[in-house]
Structure formats: structure tokens, C-alpha cells
Structure 1
Amino acid sequence: MTVDRNWIMKLQHKLYLGLAAIFTILMVIGGLLFSQEYQKRRYTEQLVNLYQPALSASEGMISAFSELNSAVVKSLSPVVDSPQGSLLAAIELFNKNQNELTLLSGQLGLSGLPSEQLEQQFDETSVLALVLVNQYQEMLKQQRQLEGNVDILLSLLKSPDQSHQPELLLLQNDLLRLSLYIASPLHRNAWYNKDELELLEQNLAQRVESIRARDELAFTLNHSEMGYGVGEVRTLYHHMLANFDRFHIKLSQYQQAQQDLQLLLNQLHKQLVKKHELSMTHVQAVSRNNKRIEYVLIPLGIIIAGLLAFQTALQVRKPLNHLLEAIRFAQAGDFSYRIDIESHDEVAQLAGHFNEMMDRLGSITVSRAYLQEVLDTVLHGVIVTDHRFNIRFINAAAEYFFPEQAYVEGSIFNCRTEDGAMLLTASERQILNQQKRLTSIEKVVVLPSGHQVILTLSVTELVINEASHWVISLHDISQIKEAEKNLQLYAKVFETSNDAIVISSKHNVIEQVNPAFSRITGFEPEEVVGQNPSVLSSGKQDRGFYREMWTQLLMKGCWQGEIWNRRKNGEVYAEWLSIVAIHNELGLIERFVGVFSDITQRKEAEQLIHRQANYDALTELPNRRLFWDRLSQALLQAQANESQSSEAQVALLYVDLDGFKPVNDSFGHEYGDLLLKQVAVIMKSLIRITDTVARLGGDEFALILPGYSQAQLQEVAQSIVDQLMQPIMVKDKLIYIGASVGISIYPELANSQETLVHQADSAMYYVKNQSKSSFALYNSEMEVVAYEKIQLEQDLRDALNKDQMQVIFQPLYDAQSERIVSAEALLRWQHPVRGKLMPDLFIPLAEETGIIHSLGEWAIREACQQAVQALGGIGYVRVAVNISPKQFAQADFVSQVENILLETGFPAKYLELEVTERLIINDLNATASVLKQLSEIGVSVIVDDFGIGYASLNDLRQYPVTELKFDRSFIKDVCRSPQDSGMIRSMADLAHQMGMKVVAEGVEDADSLEMLKQMGCDFIQGFVYHEPMAMNKLAQLLENQAEVGQ
């Protein structure tokens, strides 16, 4: 049986349409049902959502009411100062929740809620709470006032009569009990026991009447203050009782209102909960209806949809498979695939259009590939976007500038600059929409590699088939910018450099100079441009110097060194010059660049540093450092000249000034410095120019004398000693010093530099310890002397601590009466090994080492103490103590003497201080000041060793000097030397004319004694009367003298 194919297709088509109609009807019915149920459910859910805040408002009212009750309880306490704040806050919170619940009730359409009753009940309760709390606070005030009045009464109930004290105490106790009784119920919120209260009040009244009845206290109890106080207390008691009754009535009313309000709140909350539960039940019922509809309509729709899908698949599946396969070929880039369908339905029409599209895409792909290949060879980045800035094309150069995800995602907005901004900002896009182009906008982007580049961005509109596109070109100008930056930097360095810069041609013709060149040389640019740099030449460098410089410059391409040139004003200056040759691409020299700085100040500073390092700043003599260097050179030269004996010898003289420190101490360092400068001039004048005289420090000098014979050395050494013994005029003062000179010779005595220096130093100290102002050639015995000096110094430092020092006294006699008038304290050192040592063996060492300060202070104190102990009971005589110039120069010397007198109790008028004539004339002004201060405290001053210090009596007139003691060198020859005797007579006469006494010391025989008496000496001291003795013997002499005088 043959079946008509067209008939079958028509039948299938009708079946397809029928199923589609049924499916549409079912969908409409289902939609209507779903819509109706959805509206119900939505309305019910809205109600449910409104019930929830209503419940919250109800719970808030309950919470606020609870806070109100809590606030009331806390407020009924005596420790709460301002209770109404918490009450008002709870009331405000309750009203807020109540208003919100009223509003929600209207929206929900709720009826039957006790809202108005609840509002009235809460207003009543809140008013009662406020009244209750205010009344309680008023009661507290009355209770405090009651306590205050009780305290006043207690203070008034005092009697001086002890017999009334028990009754007063009973009254005080009643008052206290009554006050506590009133306060206790108030604080505990309890009821009063009125019977007890009346009993206490009666006792109080009886006590008052009993005390009032006594005559002695009648005045006190009838006093206005007492009467007023008792009445005030009783009145307050009655007020307190009345208020407490009213308080408990209000408290009962508040508690009843509280219970009623709590019932209303609970009733309201239960109704809201019930209505909320009903709403939830309704929502659940609606949800069940929706599910029943879903269970019926959805399966039926699925069945019908399946039938339709099956029918559609039979007609469309095969052509669509062909179409999908063609799309896969197109996605792979193959546009040659074509779809062949014989039917004339919609699918066939789609296949035809698809084939036409594939033809066009094939031709477009060829053109696009050609364009891509061309633009990828361009060094600039190119991006083409549509009018919405979606990327349609990007070449390889543009891809290099941005991460892959930036352009793969398809929008130019994903391409960002270094700070995260869009490549095209909003303002730039606005300008672009108005002007249709942008040119040369600089952007900084970060490459995927992390490096930053600077791009110039230009945008132009491109219209294709009436469609607007944007062509964005990107040009990397990082290297140009870097070059510009370097050029600006080089120009700034050129202009601001402190070093002069000269640029010259390959023919060495100046082309350009910087401002520093003009500052250093004085030449302006127009004066030197076109000139040869030799215009600066000073002539200090010869042709050989320049020839060597150019040879190195042409061979190595650079040269640097120190050169002396001349400024425009003719001044010669030093510069440090660096020259570099600039080559072109072929390696040929095109230019020379010279950079130089003025190092004149540096050279001068180096010379100054060298001089400061090697020369003494004061005397300009070589210092210790240069001395060692020159001594080393002299010894090396001597070793080289060993064949010539005279030139192979080097002598070293160590010179130390004698008496220099007293000059510093007396006149100040200014005089000392000027004196050292004159000494340097004197010593330089006594040697050859090729010899060296150096200052080693302080007052020590050294002379390096190569090629001298011993006779010549002795002549130079003697000349130094003689010249320095002569008085030297320093400003306005004539100063006396000396010099101790030690000599050693290389290689005769010393075989090394260190040994030579050591021997000369030892020889110098040997002279200083022996006689001073002399010279000596080193020998081995001097080492022993040096060691003994060191040992003696150490022993001297321990002498005071070990009680080795002694003070003895030599009496001075009046020349006419031959009675003891004073005594001189003399110092002796009982050395444990060397025995008794005289002062001339250790005083110079003490002065040299500084021990003299402590030793001299001890001597004054010891002399005063012994005098007080031995002479205090028999009568004092004057005691003289010798003072060292170093002691005298101490700033606190006068105060030191004054303290010793206070400590020992020795009268100042009996203390005499002996100073040398040289000490006075070395610094007249300073000495005068000290002598004046001593005179003011009552201490006398004697000039010792007068006659050898070049002082005149006229010089001494300005000082408070009481006595002159002639030097013993005049006394010992007074009988044999008419010149000495005549001098003593003359000086004695002049001293007497100026009111001074004259002392002759060191008198040893009777002939000298008689002659000195005839010459006018007032006092005699010496062995002719007595040797120095202990203080107890002197005291015995004075006692005997006193007995004879009686």
C-alpha cells in the first residue's frame, strides 16, 4: 500500500499544532491559578511581617515597665541623689513602644486590643511612681534636718558641773535613740511602732523637764537656742510620722496600679502572639494549595512539552547538526565548509544565509590577515575600537605595552596607566567625543615585565560603513624623555658646578666655559671663547710638563694632576685639573673637556697643617715631632759619612730653663709666652742656620748640632748659659732666669737615637740638681744621680704621712737688750736612710714636683700649733715661717693662712712670713696685692736674703714690709770686707729711715756681732747666740728670760 508522503506530513503538522494549543491552554490556566495564590500568599506574608514589629513593640513595653519598677526600687534609697532621670527615661521608652504598637495595630486592622485602657493605666502608674519618689526624697530631707537638729542639741547639752553629767548623758542617749528609731524604718521601708515612739518622746520630755528644774542649768535650758531646738525636734517627729503614713498609702496605690498594668500588658502580648500564629497558619495553608497546583500542572506540561520537543527534533535535528559542524569549521578559521539542504523551510533559508556569510568571512579574513601582518611590523602601538571603546584590533607593539588580560577582555578601559587610571580618562573621552581627535598626550604605563615606559597617545576617529571607530596610536618616548632629562641634568651641572668646566675643540680652541670658570679665573666667557687655554698659563710649568700631559691625554684619553695657572688679575693659583678626550663613532677625537677646581686654599691649609704638625705655634721652632724626624735624618747622614770623623758626629743638647715656672706663677702666662719667644730667638742666634733648635714642650728645648767638636760644643753650651743668665726685658718687667744644659754625642757616647736623647736628658737633670745655670757632658754616674732623685721624690711624698718632717726654732735677739724677741721656724727632714736632711736638699725638689704646697701648709700649721702649746701660758714671741714663691702664688694662699690661724688659735700679730727679695721684684703688682691682704689680717712680712735680688729699698716702700733680713753672704765677710760692711751700714740707715727693722742672720762670732751692732742692725740671729732648737727648749729660754727680767 502506497502512503502519500505529503498527507503524512500534513497529519504530523496538524498533530503538532494541536499539542501546541493544548500546552498553551494549560499554561494560561496554570498562570491564573498561580497568580491568584501568589497574591494571597503575598498579602498574608505582609501581615506576618507587620506582626513581628508589633510583638517587638509589645516586648519593649514590658521591658520599659520592668525598668520603671527597677528605677522606683532604686530611687527609694537614701544613697540615690537624682532618681527622676532613670524614671523619666523608662516612661519615655514605654510611650515610644506604645505609639509604635498603636500605629501597627491600625495597619493590621486589629480590634479588641486594650490600648486605651493600657495607656490610661500606665499614665496613672507613672504619676504614682513620680509622686512616691518625690515624697520619699522629702522624707529624707526631713530626716537629715532632724539629725542636724539633734546634733545641735547634743552640742548644747554640756555642763561644766560633773554632778549633772549622768542626767545629760541619759538625755543624749534618748535623743540618739529617737533619731535612730525614726531613720531605721525610713531606710528599711517598714511601719513605725507608734507606742514605742510615744514612749521615747515622753522620756525625752521628762528628761528635759528634769534638767530644766535644776537651778544651775536653768540658764542653759531656758536659752533661746535650746528651746527652739527642742521644739523643732518634736515638730519634725510629728511631720515625719504624718509623711510616713502618706508614703505607705501612695506605695500601696502604686503597687496595685503596677499589678493592674502588668495584667493588661500580659493580655495584650498574648493576643498579639495568638494573631501572629493564625497568620502563620494561613501562610502555610496557601503554600499547600500552591504545591497541589504544581503537582497537577507541571507533570502535564512536561509531557506535552516533551511531545512537542520530539516532533521538533525530528524536523530540525539533522539540518542543525550540519549547521553546528559548519560553525566549528568557522571557529577553527576554515571558511570553505558549506551546508547543502534540499528543503525550502526556514532551516534551509538559514543554511543559505550561513553559506553567504562564510563566503564574506573568507574574503574578510584574507584582508584582515594582511592588515594584521602589516601593522605588526609597525613599531608604534595601534589599537582600533568601536564607538564604545571595545577593542576590535590591536597590533603586536600595542600588546607589548599591556598585560594580556587587559586587551583580551575586549575593552580599552581595562588598559591602565602606572597610577591605575584608565588609559583614556573621562575628560579625555569627553574631548574626543566633541573634537573627534586627541594628539600627543603623555601617559606612564607599567609593562608586564615591571618596567615603566612613557607613551604619547593620539586618537583619531575612523568611520567605516557609517560606523564610528577610534584609532589609538601609542609611541614609546621613554628614551627621548631620558635623554632630555640627562641633557637638562648635564646643563644644570654645567651651570651650577663649583668646578670650572672648559669645552674645547679638537684643535684645543675654547668653545664654551661655565660660570664657575669665570669665578675662579676672572675671565668672562667672551674673553676666552676662541682662545687657547694657554691664556691661563702662569709659566710655572715648563714645556716638558705640557709635553708629557698631552702625550698621556692622546694615548690614554685622559689626564689629571695639579697645575699652577694665573687669574685675570695676575694672581697665581693652584688648581686640580682633569681633562677627558671626547671621541666620535669612528674613534676620532672631537672635543676636550677640562674640569678644574681652585685648590689654593687647600694647599695653604696643607701647609698650615704641616706647620702646625711640625712647628711650635708659639716660638715657630720645630716641635717634638719634627725634632725626632730631623734627629733621625742627622743620624742617617752621620752614618753615611763614617769615613769623615768630624762629619760623622752628631751632638744633642737638652736645655731646660731655670726659674721659668715662678715667672708664669707670678706674672701670668702672657709674660711666660713672651719670655719663651725671646729665648728661642737667643738660641737660634747662637747656632748655624743648618742646625736645629726645637721646643719639646713647656720650657724644654733641644739642639741638634752635627759636625761639632767637643770644644765647639762647650762654647755653644756656655754661650747659651751665659746669655740666658742675663736679665731679659719682657714688656715692662726685667726677668731673671737661667738654663741647665745636658750634652750627649753620637756615636762617641750613644749608639742609637733613643740612647742619645736619654743621655742628653739625664745630663740636663744632673745639672739642674747640682748647680743649675750650667752645662755638663753625659757620663754614666749621672744615671745614679737621676735614680737617687727619683727615689728622693718618692720618699718626700711619703714624708708627711710618716711623720718624718720636723720644725725647729732659732731665736732672734734684740741687738741692744740681747733679749729674745722672735724665732724663725726651720724645716728638717729626718730621712730613715740618709738621716737628717737640710731644706736646700729637698725644698727645690718639692717646688719642682708641686709637693711644696702641702709641705708649706703643714709647716705653717705646725709652727703655729707648737707655739700655742708651748708659749700660750708664758707669753708669745713672733714666729717667722719661710714661704716658697710657689706657695705665695697660690690663689687661696691668704685664706689658707687665715684658716690656719683660726684652727690653731695663734694670734695673727705674732706670725711673720719670710719671702725672698726675688719673689717681690718678679711681679710687683701681684705681690703688693697679696702683701696688702696679709697685712689686713694682721700678719707681718719679712724680706729674706735681701741684697742679692737687685731690688732697691725704694721698690719696697710701697709694700707693708716690717723687716729686712740681710743675706748671710754679706754677714760672713763683714769683718774682712770694707765694701760689705759699708753696704750693710748704708742699707740699714735707709731701712730705718723708711720705718723698717734690720735683721742680720748667720752671725757666728763675737767680732761680727759687735760690728753689726755698731752698723745699726736691730736683731741678731745665728750661732753666736743659739743653734736651732725644739720649741720646748725655746720656751725654757723664754721662761728664764722672764725670771731674770723680774
Structure 2
Amino acid sequence: MKVAAFDEVSLGLIGVSLMAALVALLLMMRERWKSARISHQLQVVSSEKRALERGDALTGLLNRKGLDMALDVMASAGPHGVVVVLLDHYRRLRQAFGQEFSDFVIKLAAQRLGSCLPPGATAAHLEGGEFALAIPGGKSDLLEVAELAFQQLALPVQSAKGQLILAASMGVATAGLPEDRGRLIEFASLAAERAGTGLNGEGKICVYDPAFAEEARAQAFFLNDLREAIENKQLRLLFQPKVDAQSLQITAAEALLRWQHPVRGNVAPGVFVPMAEAAGLMGVLGRWVIEESCRVAANWRAMGLRMRVAVNISALQMQEEDLVDHIAQCLGRYGLQPNRFTCEITESVAMQHTATATATFERMRSLGLHVSIDDFGTGYSSLAALRRLPASELKVDRAFIADLEHSEDARSIAASIVSLGKALNLKVVAEGVETQGQCELLMMMGCDELQGFLFSKPISADEMTGMIKGTSQDDGPESLPFSESLFMNTTLSNL
């Protein structure tokens, strides 16, 4: 009986031990399974993180890091290269239409570029309106893809803002020396920027040349000089008079920006203004021109010279929401009337019906500014569009004036523009008048005001004052007599 009891007790203890062991085993297995699950989740998260680090969330394309990795793989496989694609005027488009629409444009461009890729190639969205295509093969292969991409981007598409056609500048760079491997994207970007400026002379696709790097370094130093010139007020304004076509009396002056570089000498606005725009300096530069023009006009006003002063407004300035506020503040600070301040806006810019530009025109109208449509005749203005603009003046483009004495077509166009201006009750100004014959023809056509080297080259504010007062020592305008300004004898109380 004792043995049996012992056996029952032993069996009970063994059962408890087995149960405890089983429970412990199950707990251990659960912990291992839990640990494995956590490890798997961490691997998934890590994999997703690596994918996100290599990819662009907006487009689904690679980003710069992913592109670098793809190029490393291509480098071990054979010849390859990069095509960089810069969407033209992307920053201006984003400012005009907002982030949502600019995102739509980026996604559309990504889809179209992706459709152009040959086997083994890949695409990346670098930033803003900049893309890059990594392509296996030689120069001819890359150019073929670039041409196709250019054509695909140019296909029109309907959007919430109307028909959209994407234009782009493209740069091509092929892998050469081993030390160039990490700089392919940089080289292609330099070529794309050159294509955008039109300096390559081959259209909108440019192949990288080693000389571009040296030019880029020189331009970087030049741009730094421009920044210093703006900060240190080394730029200056010259003024070119506008004269009444019948009396030849000075009625207004156009402010023209000039830069006298300490080493390069006189730098043309056509060189440094595009640089300022590309570097985002145009806002500061444009504000200084407006401020300085108002200061000079106030000095003339104090002398009894009640002239209009004209300032050129760029396309980028037209997209600034506070442009008119700044003009109004300057006018108020110097005690000037809005109708004595002329905003000269080129015809092509005036016809850009962006929301910001339209609002800017309306604010100019409300403030009472004198608005002039510059370079008229070179764009595609419609009569209806002209009537909607708050314009007071048309300026006939100098290209038509240059041929007046020799071309019947030029005379017909100029006469038509004068007639159009009269029909719309707009003052008509001819710029680029250089000969007596041109002057007489424009007078007969009924042009209101004339401007050009026949009367005066651009001169300083002090020289302009001397010219109006008849004390100028400049030899330029002596071939054509000047009368006193129309407003020379106007009293200050009437200004």
C-alpha cells in the first residue's frame, strides 16, 4: 500500500513538473515568436525607410541618393550617362499658380519622362523643376532619349488652369574619366543651364563640355560681385528723355540701370539682369530702382520740373504680390503723384494672364499709375486683351523704327500701331529714334512722344537737369534744339 501511495505521489509530482515544463516551453516559444515578429517588423520598417531615403514621395521616382546608387551600379556595367531636365520657368509658375498646381506639373513631367526610358535606365526627381535620367549607353543613346523626352514634355494637356505645354532645357553628360563618376549630375546640370540661356546655339539640348565648369566658376565670382554691388549701392541709374513729337520738349525720362564693374568696366543690363533673376536678386534690385527713381523725381519736382519718370518692370516683379504696395510707399515717401510714375511692362509680360499678374495690373489701375506697354508689336496681343489692361501708353518696338526709312512694311506697321493707340485713347511713344528722317515720319504718323539717340543717349540725373535747364555741356543733343520742359514754369503748388 505504501508503494502504491508513493507511486501516486510520484506520478502527481511528475505531472506537475511536466506541466510546468510545458508552460515554460510555451512561454519561451511565445517570447521567441514575439521577438521574431518584432525583428521582422523592424526589418520591414528599415526596408521601407531605406526605400523612402532613396525615393521621391511626390513622383514615385528616385531621389538624389537613389540616383547616386543607380549610377554606381551602371558604372560597373559599362558606358552610361545622365540627362538633366530643367523645367523652364518652374519657380515663376509656382509663384503664379500655387503649390497644388505646381505639384500637378511635377507629377505630369515625371510620368512623361518615365515613359521615355529605355531598358536599364531610371529617372529621378532632384528638386523643384529639376529631374535626372540615368541611361546606359553612349552619347548618341543619351541624345536620343533627350530628344524623345523633349517631345513628350511638349505635348499639350488640359488642366484646371487651361491648356498646358511643358518646356524644358536639357543637359547631357557621359561618363568619362574615373574621377568624373561622382560629378556626372553636376556636369549635366551645367549643360542644362547653358541650354536654358541659349548660349549653346543648338536649341534646348546641350552636351557638356569641360569648358563649362570654368565658365561656371567665373560666373559664380561675377555673381558675387553683383551681390556686393547691390549691397554697397555701386549700381546707378541713367535717364533717357522722352520728348513731345510736335514741340520736341522733354516730357518724361526713362530710368535705365547700369553697372560699372571695377575690372570688367561697363556691364550691359542684358548680362547682369538675367543673372540677378536666376539668383533671386531681382526683387532687391527692382525695389532699389523704384526707390532711386522716386528720389530723383522728387529732386526734379523740387526744382519745378514736373516730369514723369518711367521704370521697367520685369516678369518676376509682376509676380510679386507687394509690388504695387512698394511703389505706393515710395511715392508717398517722396511726395509724388501716381500718374507721374510710369511702369513700363513688355507686351509679352503684359499678356501673361496669371492670377498674380492680373491682380497686379488691377492694383496699378486702382493706385492711378501710368502704365506703358513696352516693345509693342513683337508679341501677340489681341485688341480685347489691350482694352482690359490699365494701360495709358504704347511704345512702338525699336525694330520697326530702325527700318522706317527703308521698309514700307515697317512704316505700315508703325502707322497701324499709332492708329490703334489713338483708337484706344492711348499715348503712343516711339523708342530707338536715331535719325531726322525717322523723326519726321513719326511726326507725320501722329506719334505722341519720341525717344532715342537722336535726342540724347542715357545720361545721369544731373546731366538731365542741365539739359532741361539749357545748361548741359553734353555734345549729344546739340544737333536738335531743345525747348524748356513743358513743366519748367509750373509752380510747386500745382505739382
TM value normalised by structure 1: 0.40
Query: What is the DSSP-based 3-state SS (H/G/I as helix, E as strand, rest coil) of the residue aligned with 1:827?
Result: strand
Match of residue 183 from structure 2: 755
In 2, Cα distance between equivalents of 1:924 and 1:880: 24
Alpha-carbon distance, 1:1006 to partner: 3.4
Q: Which has the higher helix share?
A: 1
Alpha-carbon distance, 1:802 to partner: 2.7
Q: Which amino acid aligns with 1:758?
A: E
Would you say 1:619 and 2:49 are equivalent positions? no
Query: What is the DSSP-based 3-state SS (H/G/I as helix, E as strand, rest coil) of the residue aligned with 2:351?
Result: helix
In 2, Cα distance between equivalents of 1:858 and 1:807: 10
Match of residue 650 from structure 1: 80
Matches within 5 A, 1:977-988: 978-988=408-418
Alpha-carbon distance, 1:917 to partner: 3.2
Q: Which protein has the larger Cα radius of gyration, Structure 1 or Structure 2?
A: 1
Q: Which amino acid aligns with 1:762?
A: L
What CA deviation, in whole Å up to 9, does each residue of 1:75-130 have, x standing for no partner? xxxxxxxxxxxxxxxxxxxxxxxxxxxxxxxxxxxxxxxxxxxxxxxxxxxxxxxx
Query: What is the DSSP-based 3-state SS (H/G/I as helix, E as strand, rest coil) of the residue aligned with 1:637?
Result: coil
Match of residue 459 from structure 2: 1029
- Distance verdict in 2 for CA 1:687–1:378, change over 3 Å: closer
Alpha-carbon distance, 1:831 to partner: 0.9
Match of residue 169 from structure 2: 740
Query: What is the DSSP-based 3-state SS (H/G/I as helix, E as strand, rest coil) of the residue aligned with 1:914?
Result: strand
Alpha-carbon distance, 1:484 to partner: 8.8
Alpha-carbon distance, 1:1030 to partner: 1.0
Residue number among 150, 157, 160 corresponding to 1:731 in the alignment: 160
What CA deviation, in whole Å up to 9, does each residue of 1:920-942 have, x standing for no partner? 33344322222222232232222
- Conservation of the 8 A alpha-carbon contact between 1:720 and 1:739: no
Match of residue 100 from structure 2: 670
Match of residue 635 from structure 1: 75
What CA deviation, in whole Å up to 9, does each residue of 1:363-391 have, x standing for no partner? xxxxxxxxxxx9xx9999xxxxxxxxxxx
Match of residue 1004 from structure 1: 434
Gaps of 5+ in 1: 1-373, 381-475, 500-557, 561-575, 579-595, 639-648
Residue number among 808, 817, 837 corresponding to 2:247 in the alignment: 817
In 1, Cα distance between equivalents of 2:151 and 2:433: 33
Q: Which amino acid aligns with 2:461?
A: M
In 1, Cα distance between equivalents of 2:74 and 2:368: 62
In 1, Cα distance between equivalents of 2:132 and 2:173: 11
Would you say 1:766 and 2:214 are equivalent positions? no
Would you say 1:961 and 2:391 are equivalent positions? yes
Alpha-carbon distance, 1:884 to partner: 2.5
Would you say 1:869 and 2:292 are equivalent positions? no
Q: Which amino acid aligns with 1:771?
A: L
- Distance verdict in 2 for CA 1:673–1:997, change over 3 Å: farther
- Distance verdict in 2 for CA 1:754–1:975, change over 3 Å: farther
Would you say 1:925 and 2:355 are equivalent positions? yes
* Larger RCO (CA under 8 A, 6+ residues apart): 2
Query: What is the DSSP-based 3-state SS (H/G/I as helix, E as strand, rest coil) of the residue aligned with 2:275?
Result: helix
Q: Which amino acid aligns with 2:185?
A: V
Matches within 5 A, 1:599-998: 612-638=52-78, 649-710=79-140, 713-718=142-147, 720=149, 730-734=159-163, 738-747=167-176, 752-769=180-197, 771=199, 774-976=204-406, 978-998=408-428
- Conservation of the 8 A alpha-carbon contact between 1:861 and 1:904: no
Q: May I ask how many residue pairs the two structures share in their alignment?
A: 466
In 2, Cα distance between equivalents of 1:667 and 1:651: 34
Q: Which amino acid aligns with 2:184?
A: L
Gaps of 5+ in 2: 471-481, 490-495
- Distance verdict in 2 for CA 1:725–1:378, change over 3 Å: closer
Q: Which amino acid aligns with 1:631?
A: L
In 2, Cα distance between equivalents of 1:992 and 1:722: 43
Q: Which amino acid aligns with 1:732?
A: K
In 2, Cα distance between equivalents of 1:900 and 1:1000: 28
- Conservation of the 8 A alpha-carbon contact between 2:190 and 2:208: yes
In 2, Cα distance between equivalents of 1:691 and 1:480: 67
Alpha-carbon distance, 1:696 to partner: 1.2
In 1, Cα distance between equivalents of 2:114 and 2:327: 45
Q: Which amino acid aligns with 1:745?
A: T
- Conservation of the 8 A alpha-carbon contact between 1:733 and 1:922: no
In 1, Cα distance between equivalents of 2:46 and 2:445: 70
Query: What is the DSSP-based 3-state SS (H/G/I as helix, E as strand, rest coil) of the residue aligned with 1:863?
Result: helix
Alpha-carbon distance, 1:818 to partner: 2.7
Q: Which amino acid aligns with 1:997?
A: K
- Conservation of the 8 A alpha-carbon contact between 2:143 and 2:172: no
Q: Which amino acid aligns with 1:907?
A: Q
- Distance verdict in 2 for CA 1:480–1:695, change over 3 Å: same
CA RMSD of aligned residues (A): 4.1
Alpha-carbon distance, 1:910 to partner: 0.6
In 2, Cα distance between equivalents of 1:907 and 1:633: 66
Alpha-carbon distance, 1:798 to partner: 0.8
Alpha-carbon distance, 1:675 to partner: 2.5
Query: What is the DSSP-based 3-state SS (H/G/I as helix, E as strand, rest coil) of the residue aligned with 1:957?
Result: helix
- Conservation of the 8 A alpha-carbon contact between 1:654 and 1:761: yes
Alpha-carbon distance, 1:869 to partner: 1.4
- Distance verdict in 2 for CA 1:655–1:905, change over 3 Å: same
- Conservation of the 8 A alpha-carbon contact between 1:744 and 1:750: no
What CA deviation, in whole Å up to 9, does each residue of 1:878-902 have, x standing for no partner? 1111123333323322222222122
In 1, Cα distance between equivalents of 2:24 and 2:485: 115
Alpha-carbon distance, 1:688 to partner: 2.6
Alpha-carbon distance, 1:483 to partner: 5.4
What CA deviation, in whole Å up to 9, does each residue of 1:594-634 have, x standing for no partner? xx99x99x97x888766644433333333222211221121
Query: What is the DSSP-based 3-state SS (H/G/I as helix, E as strand, rest coil) of the residue aligned with 1:931?
Result: helix
Query: What is the DSSP-based 3-state SS (H/G/I as helix, E as strand, rest coil) of the residue aligned with 1:1029?
Result: coil
- Distance verdict in 2 for CA 1:490–1:630, change over 3 Å: closer
Match of residue 473 from structure 2: none
Matches within 5 A, 1:76-95: none
Query: What is the DSSP-based 3-state SS (H/G/I as helix, E as strand, rest coil) of the residue aligned with 1:676?
Result: helix
- Distance verdict in 2 for CA 1:853–1:484, change over 3 Å: same
In 1, Cα distance between equivalents of 2:456 and 2:155: 39
In 1, Cα distance between equivalents of 2:130 and 2:153: 13
- Distance verdict in 2 for CA 1:1008–1:611, change over 3 Å: farther
- Conservation of the 8 A alpha-carbon contact between 1:667 and 1:923: no
In 1, Cα distance between equivalents of 2:346 and 2:152: 24
- Distance verdict in 2 for CA 1:1017–1:661, change over 3 Å: farther
Query: What is the DSSP-based 3-state SS (H/G/I as helix, E as strand, rest coil) of the residue aligned with 1:922?
Result: coil
- Distance verdict in 2 for CA 1:488–1:736, change over 3 Å: closer
- Conservation of the 8 A alpha-carbon contact between 1:766 and 1:786: no
Query: What is the DSSP-based 3-state SS (H/G/I as helix, E as strand, rest coil) of the residue aligned with 1:961?
Result: coil
In 1, Cα distance between equivalents of 2:61 and 2:389: 40
Query: What is the DSSP-based 3-state SS (H/G/I as helix, E as strand, rest coil) of the residue aligned with 1:906?
Result: coil
Query: What is the DSSP-based 3-state SS (H/G/I as helix, E as strand, rest coil) of the residue aligned with 2:59?
Result: coil
Q: Which amino acid aligns with 2:175?
A: Y
Alpha-carbon distance, 1:1020 to partner: 2.2
- Conservation of the 8 A alpha-carbon contact between 1:814 and 1:821: yes
Alpha-carbon distance, 1:769 to partner: 4.7
Query: What is the DSSP-based 3-state SS (H/G/I as helix, E as strand, rest coil) of the residue aligned with 1:800?
Result: helix
Q: Which amino acid aligns with 1:930?
A: T
Alpha-carbon distance, 1:799 to partner: 0.5
Alpha-carbon distance, 1:978 to partner: 4.8
Q: Which amino acid aligns with 1:653?
A: V
In 2, Cα distance between equivalents of 1:695 and 1:975: 54
Q: Which amino acid aligns with 2:171?
A: G
